[in-house]
């Protein structure tokens, strides 16, 4: 399927304080963020014209910047309002918002204290991360050769661009084998997450999910935990080893893009799309949609 390249789309992008035509939101090739990955970002979903948990995403963007040792030159309120402006300018009802901040071109080297911090926010339609038909029967995951790093070797609590390099490599390798995504272990050999989503397992009606000590404690992850606990579903956050997957009956991944997506297979391990997964899929979609917004195919 042909997809229009992102640099050829129409509309507006918020760029360093103002809405500019999409085609004019350009950078020089000698940007520190490009060469040294000094860039942080967020992924946010729009449902019924409203951004789900916007303030939490913006707070995390600022925390990610702090971890990468730079300060975003706007307030959180200004970024929240800018995100809303972009959604309105693009006339997006159901879509995706991408705020990002990075070190600019003033210095080109490992040291870049004087580089100006640049900020952009884009928004586009994006109905579903995975094929809807495949998603309903459970996606298949490969097990990646790459591992989430020791937190002493990378700023794993930030949503930093450089941390996603091994995710891209893992997802490409999985897709070449016919899988939809990949499960990543951590540096200790424990179950960690998918390439862009946290993971949950079900056993005897209880949820089991890895402790996020070397990867992001996702906003969707926390939302799903809250939804589960509100429904009397016990949540066990703990270390999970690969061979334990044989004992779980259900599995699903969660994230802003992935939403709640059941998993039918991880390598040699198989799961069913059961009652717990379906309950939390429905609960999540009820939670994200504004009460006045009609259900659309994008929610499938």
300 residues of the chain, pLDDT tens digit each: 457 899 999 999 999 999 999 999 999 999 999 999 999 999 999 999 999 999 999 999 999 999 999 999 999 999 999 999 999 999 999 999 999 999 999 999 999 999 999 999 999 998 766 666 677 789 999 999 999 999 999 999 999 999 999 999 999 999 999 999 999 999 999 999 999 999 999 999 999 999 999 999 999 999 999 999 999 999 999 999 999 999 999 999 999 999 999 999 999 999 999 999 999 999 999 999 987 644 443 333
Catalytic residue among 137, 157, 159, 177: 159
Instruction: Label the pairing between strands 269-270 and 198-203.
Output: unpaired
Question: CA 251 → CA 141, 169, 272, distances in Å?
Answer: 11, 23, 8
Is 137 considered catalytic here?
no
Query: What predicted TM-score, i.e. pTM, was given to this entire model?
Result: 0.92
pLDDT at 298: 37
Query: Looking at residue 118, what DSSP letter applies?
Result: E
What is the rounded CA–CA span in Å between residue 278 and residue 231?
Answer: 13
pLDDT at 75: 98
- 87-103 pLDDT per residue, tens: 999 999 999 999 999 99
Under 8 Å CB-to-CB from 157, ≥6 apart: which residues?
A: 63, 67, 151, 216
CATH topology of domain 132-288: D-amino Acid Aminotransferase; Chain A, domain 2 (3.20.10)
Under 8 Å CB-to-CB from 144, ≥6 apart: which residues?
A: 166, 169, 170, 173, 174, 182, 183, 184, 185, 195
- 42-83 pLDDT per residue, tens: 999 999 999 999 999 999 999 999 999 999 999 999 999 999
pLDDT at 129: 65
Give yes or no on whether 6-125 and 132-288 have one common fold.
no
* Contact of 7 with 25, CB cutoff 8 Å: no
Which residue ranges make up each domain of the chain? 6-125, 132-288
pLDDT at 20: 98
Question: CA 40 → CA 76, 120, 180, 216, 273, distances in Å?
Answer: 15, 11, 25, 13, 34
- What number does CATH give the domain 6-125? 3.30.470.10
């Amino acid at each position: 399927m042909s997809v229009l390249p992102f640099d050829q789309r129409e509309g507006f992008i918020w760029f360093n304080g103002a809405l500019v035509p999409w085609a004019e939101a350009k950078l020089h090739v000698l940007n520190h963020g490009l060469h040294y990955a000094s860039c942080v970002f967020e992924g946010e979903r729009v449902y019924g014209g409203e951004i789900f948990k916007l303030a939490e995403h913006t707070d995390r963007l600022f925390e990610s910047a702090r971890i990468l040792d730079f300060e975003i030159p706007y307030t959180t309120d200004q970024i929240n309002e800018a995100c809303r402006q972009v959604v309105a300018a693009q006339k997006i009802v159901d879509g995706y918002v991408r705020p990002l901040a990075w070190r600019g071109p003033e210095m080109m080297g490992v040291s870049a204290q004087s580089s100006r911090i640049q900020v952009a926010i884009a928004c586009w339609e994006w109905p579903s991360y995975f094929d809807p038909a495949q998603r309903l029967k459970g996606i298949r995951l490969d097990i990646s050769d790459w591992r989430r790093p020791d937190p002493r070797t990378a700023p794993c609590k930030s949503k930093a661009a450089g941390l996603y390099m091994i995710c891209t490599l893992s997802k490409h390798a999985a897709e070449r084998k016919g899988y939809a995504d990949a499960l990543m272990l951590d540096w200790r050999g424990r179950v960690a997450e998918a390439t862009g989503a946290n993971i949950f397992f079900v056993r005897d009606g209880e949820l089991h999910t890895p402790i996020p000590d070397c990867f992001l404690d996702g906003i969707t992850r926390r939302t799903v935990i809250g939804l589960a606990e509100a429904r009397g579903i016990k949540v066990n956050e703990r270390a999970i080893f690969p061979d334990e997957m044989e004992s779980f009956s259900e599995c699903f991944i969660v994230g802003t893009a992935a939403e709640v997506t059941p998993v039918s297979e991880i390598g040699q391990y198989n799961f069913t799309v059961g009652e717990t997964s379906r309950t939390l899929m429905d609960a999540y979609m009820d939670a994200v949609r504004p009460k006045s917004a009609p259900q659309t195919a994008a929610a499938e």
